[in-house]
Amino acid sequence: MVSRRTFLAGSGVLTAGGFGLLPGLPAAATDKATGRLLPAFGRPNHLHYGDVSKLSGGDQTLLTTLQGIVNRSRPELYFLYADGGPQGVDARWLADTHLPTTRYADPLALLAKYRHRIRGAIIHDPAVPDSLNVATTLAGLENAVVADAAQAKAHGLRIVQDLRGKFDDDRVKTYRWQLENLFPRCTRQLLAGLPPTMVVQAEGLTWKEIARETRQIRDSSNRASYPLDVSPGLGKEAVYVRFQDSFGDDGWGPSVASVSVKANGVEIANFLPGTPAEEPYLFDGLNSSIGGEGNRFSDGGGYFIYKITPPAGTTSLVVTVEMWNQYLVTVTDTAPTRVEPFPYFRDYVVATKALVSWLPPNGPTGELLREHFDQVGPTTPYAGWFSNDVAGEWSGVDLAAQGGSEVLPADFYMNGTVHSGVTAPISDRVPRFTKVQPKNKVYLTLTFGEGDNVQYCQRHMRDLWDDPRRGEAPVNWTVSPLLADVGPALLSHYQRTATKNDLLICGPSGAGYTYPGAWPADQVDAYLKLSGRYMRSTGMDLVYAYNHRENDKWVPFPEEIGRGYADHTPVRGIIQSWEAGDLLVRRGGIPVIGNFSPPGKAAEYKAALDAHIATWDGKAPLFIAGGINAWSWTPTDVAQLAKLLTAPYELLLGNAFFDLLNRVL
């Protein structure tokens, strides 16, 4: 029987229990017995591990699905992924478990070691990417691994089911078959969404710079048609033209409105982004989005790539692009990426026998995804992510909320079965603070975002947390209270190692990422009650939150949502996403303040703050909740900003900030 952790009634302390997931027992029944939202795993005693960072996506998928079967009862397998090595994040978390380990130089040798634990392989169809997700669902149900035919032959695996030729490119038909035929056998405790494939960077690639905007322009004042001579990329079959942000730390990258291509003076292509005419040329658009003007843009560390195949004998190739903002254009003559199976989080999906799909949340696929939410009860989490970058995030989270499900961003959450089983003490004590006496100052609190994202909490946040200058300046860190289920040792580490200037607060918008205003009126209280239970058990009383969007604008919380937070959670204040930072209201008696997120690093951020308070008369306190971009800032950057914040600014942690705000608002 699987060892589980549960909440002691009224205490908020996590303890070990002996209740397990029984085959065929609906997950909803186990919820009442365990007090948990998400499935649990036994506490590991010994971990066998290996570095898989150099393996192909296919081999990683083979091993992560093996991991799911082996770890289902008690975790035994652990892997080092993209940052493999003794200093990588996965290695640091492994060391923190203080468990005995055995390292395998060839991690594929673990397949032979655990062959007796699996029935064989589910063969996916490389010609139909979505068959990989169907194979993953089947692997969990059939105690098998996911492989292609070549892998099965190489490792001598018995074929349990062969999906080759079973499906075509009709994604809706594929996932409807799965919903009708496999879901009756799956857990009802969660739904999963994972991309079947991923784009992998080619090694040893050289990019040649063609054009760069050297000014930090964010107002489209440099919008023009730019003829770009990409002839330096000629030499092989195609030229790959990449567009990215010339200032990757502030989120105002290139916007492209139209593209035309001439080879030796003759036009060979002319298209607008987001149209069918663009599709033959868009080699990689996963890290970009379509804007309100039909423009394709990519900010920060993102990019998009067009593939141009000129006629034989071409000596001059010119791409004319209407674009603006901070562009960097580079070219190469070698395919910069390849497509491989997406392996991550599949251990958790297989171990829990969850249904996994990949349905863009708009159009016919969105309608089918809605049917998935209709099949489960309120507050059933959707674990994974959505397609189409930011647009997919907004519409996907909104669709899930309409269906009564919160989202657990976890598609890159690795070794989830292990992290769910490693026990660690989690404090339910709310951190103490010193009350501030109000003066006519500008009170500022700074918050790192992204904490709803458990893979961020596992990976990038750990790197930020290990910055030696963390603790020099007060800053709030959003984290997911659901780490109590899927990563108790991670949450415990952050609680135990926090300095007096670090405050953990709840990421949007409670126990799982959601937009409360989009929930059915008769179900939203269930989400807020769930959030209250997890917040109390993890010692959090502040929340960074979203509501929902109307006409492409975020809407402030209505009174009834604020009252729901007041009635069902311990929240003393809410920071709501409101990019201008001009929101300051009470809802249900709780102060709600907008999030002010200017671009740039310390000096530019300070200049934006000065501009923001330019009309302040100094006759009363002014409050600003400042957002910090977790992907481009570090605690060192926060420390540098803090040194610039002389009078009239005073920097506070969120608890002191909201205590003061609550007294003067």
Q: Are residues 259 and 301 in the same domain?
A: yes
Cβ contacts of 658 within 8 Å, gap of 6 or more: 542, 572, 573, 591
Rounded-to-integer distance, Cα 120 and Cα 69, Å: 11
C-alpha distances in Å from residue 306, one per residue of 310, 320, 460 = 13, 13, 29
Under a CB-based contact definition with an 8 Å cutoff, are residues 329 and 242 in contact? yes
Rounded-to-integer distance, Cα 147 and Cα 156, Å: 11
Indicate the SS3 state at residue 248.
Answer: coil
Band of pLDDT at residue 548, cut at 50, 70 and 90 = confident
Task: Report the CATH number that the domain containing residue 512 is assigned in CATH.
Answer: 3.20.20.490
Rounded-to-integer distance, Cα 319 and Cα 646, Å: 49
Rounded-to-integer distance, Cα 13 and Cα 6, Å: 8
Residue ending a domain, among 314, 335, 356, is: 335
**Higher model confidence: residue 191 or residue 290?**
191
Band of pLDDT at residue 25, cut at 50, 70 and 90 = very low
Residue ending a domain, among 289, 305, 335, is: 335
Question: In the prediction, which pLDDT does 40 show?
Answer: 87
> Among candidates 192, 193, 196, which has minimal Cα distance to 38?
192
C-alpha distances in Å from residue 173, one per residue of 177, 368, 614 = 6, 10, 57
Question: In the prediction, which pLDDT does 279 show?
Answer: 92
Rounded-to-integer distance, Cα 309 and Cα 144, Å: 42
Question: In the prediction, which pLDDT does 199 show?
Answer: 85
DSSP secondary structure letters along 24-39: T--HHHHHHHH--SS-
Residue 426 is assigned to a structural domain of this protein: no
H or E element: which one contains 421? helix 416-421
- Total number of domains in the chain: 3
Question: In the prediction, which pLDDT does 34 show?
Answer: 66
Indicate the SS3 state at residue 213.
Answer: coil
Residue 431 is assigned to a structural domain of this protein: no
Q: Are residues 122 and 264 in the same domain?
A: no
Rounded-to-integer distance, Cα 81 and Cα 89, Å: 9
Q: Are residues 158 and 110 in the same domain?
A: yes
User: Which single residue is written with the structure tokens 């006629």?
Assistant: 311
Band of pLDDT at residue 33, cut at 50, 70 and 90 = low
Q: Which two tokens stand for residue 200?
A: 């992998």
Q: Which domain holds residue 452?
A: 442-664
Rounded-to-integer distance, Cα 18 and Cα 32, Å: 14
- pTM here is 0.87
Cβ contacts of 304 within 8 Å, gap of 6 or more: 242, 243, 282, 284, 285, 287, 288, 296, 298
> Among candidates 634, 585, 598, which has minimal Cα distance to 475?
634
Cβ contacts of 167 within 8 Å, gap of 6 or more: 125, 128, 130, 131, 134, 173, 174, 177
Q: Are residues 631 and 524 in the same domain?
A: yes
Q: Are residues 214 and 157 in the same domain?
A: no
Question: In the prediction, which pLDDT does 618 show?
Answer: 96
Rounded-to-integer distance, Cα 126 and Cα 159, Å: 16
Residue 429 is assigned to a structural domain of this protein: no
> pLDDT, tens digit, for every residue of 62-117?
999 999 999 998 999 999 997 766 789 999 999 999 999 999 999 999 999 999 99
Rounded-to-integer distance, Cα 304 and Cα 231, Å: 19
Rounded-to-integer distance, Cα 566 and Cα 574, Å: 11
Under a CB-based contact definition with an 8 Å cutoff, are residues 345 and 411 in contact? yes
Q: Are residues 279 and 380 in the same domain?
A: no
| Residue 24 clears pLDDT 60, i.e. is over it | no
Residue 428 is assigned to a structural domain of this protein: no
**Higher model confidence: residue 34 or residue 384?**
384
* Number of residues that make up the chain: 665
> Among candidates 559, 578, 555, which has minimal Cα distance to 401?
555
Question: In the prediction, which pLDDT does 255 show?
Answer: 97
Question: In the prediction, which pLDDT does 483 show?
Answer: 98
Angle between helices 171-181 and 131-142 (to 10 degrees): 10
Residue 188 is assigned to a structural domain of this protein: yes
Q: Are residues 58 and 166 in the same domain?
A: yes
Percent of the chain surpassing pLDDT 70: 94
> pLDDT, tens digit, for every residue of 450-483?
999 999 999 999 999 999 999 999 999 999 999 9
List 478's β-bridge partners, or say none: 505
Task: Report the CATH number that the domain containing residue 242 is assigned in CATH.
Answer: 2.60.40
Ranges assigned E (strand) in 333-486: 337-341, 355-357, 382-384, 407-409, 442-448, 475-479
Residue 243 is assigned to a structural domain of this protein: yes
Q: Are residues 296 and 402 in the same domain?
A: no
| Residue 535 clears pLDDT 80, i.e. is over it | yes
Rounded-to-integer distance, Cα 382 and Cα 373, Å: 9
List 580's β-bridge partners, or say none: 596
Band of pLDDT at residue 32, cut at 50, 70 and 90 = low
Q: Are residues 15 and 54 in the same domain?
A: yes
Q: Are residues 152 and 237 in the same domain?
A: no
> pLDDT, tens digit, for every residue of 648-661?
999 999 999 999 99
> pLDDT, tens digit, for every residue of 331-388?
999 999 889 999 999 999 999 999 999 999 999 999 999 999 999 999 999 999 998 7
Residue 437 is assigned to a structural domain of this protein: no
> Among candidates 489, 513, 266, which has minimal Cα distance to 408?
513
Could you tell me the maximum CA-CA distance found in the chain, to the nearest angstrom? 78
> Among candidates 363, 498, 379, which has minimal Cα distance to 427?
498
DSSP secondary structure letters along 317-373: EEEEEEEESSEEEEEESS--EEEEE--TTHHHHHHHT-EEE---SSHHHHHHHHHHH
Q: Are residues 364 and 230 in the same domain?
A: no
Q: Which two tokens stand for residue 483?
A: 């780490």
| Residue 554 clears pLDDT 80, i.e. is over it | yes
Q: What is the mean pLDDT of the chain?
A: 92
| Residue 289 clears pLDDT 90, i.e. is over it | no
| Residue 518 clears pLDDT 80, i.e. is over it | yes
Band of pLDDT at residue 151, cut at 50, 70 and 90 = very high
User: Which single residue is written with the structure tokens 């016919």?
Assistant: 364
User: Which single residue is written with the structure tokens 């008690």?
Assistant: 74
| Residue 314 clears pLDDT 60, i.e. is over it | yes
Question: In the prediction, which pLDDT does 287 show?
Answer: 82
C-alpha distance across the termini of the chain, in Å: 53
> pLDDT, tens digit, for every residue of 397-444?
999 999 999 999 999 999 999 999 999 999 999 999 999 999 999 999
Question: In the prediction, which pLDDT does 249 show?
Answer: 78
Rounded-to-integer distance, Cα 191 and Cα 77, Å: 23
Rounded-to-integer distance, Cα 349 and Cα 347, Å: 6
Residue 260 is assigned to a structural domain of this protein: yes
Band of pLDDT at residue 19, cut at 50, 70 and 90 = very low
> pLDDT, tens digit, for every residue of 43-56?
999 999 999 999 99
Question: In the prediction, which pLDDT does 191 show?
Answer: 98
Q: Are residues 157 and 238 in the same domain?
A: no
Indicate the SS3 state at residue 193.
Answer: strand
Residue ending a domain, among 335, 354, 382, is: 335
Phi, psi of 231, deg, nearest 5: -55, -30
Rounded-to-integer distance, Cα 567 and Cα 529, Å: 9
Averaged pLDDT, 187-208: 93
Contacts 24+ apart (CB under 8 A), 2-6: 2/40, 2/41, 2/42, 2/72, 2/73, 2/74, 3/40, 3/41, 3/42, 3/43, 3/74, 3/421, 4/34, 4/36, 4/40, 5/34, 5/36, 5/40, 5/423, 5/488, 6/33, 6/34, 6/35, 6/36
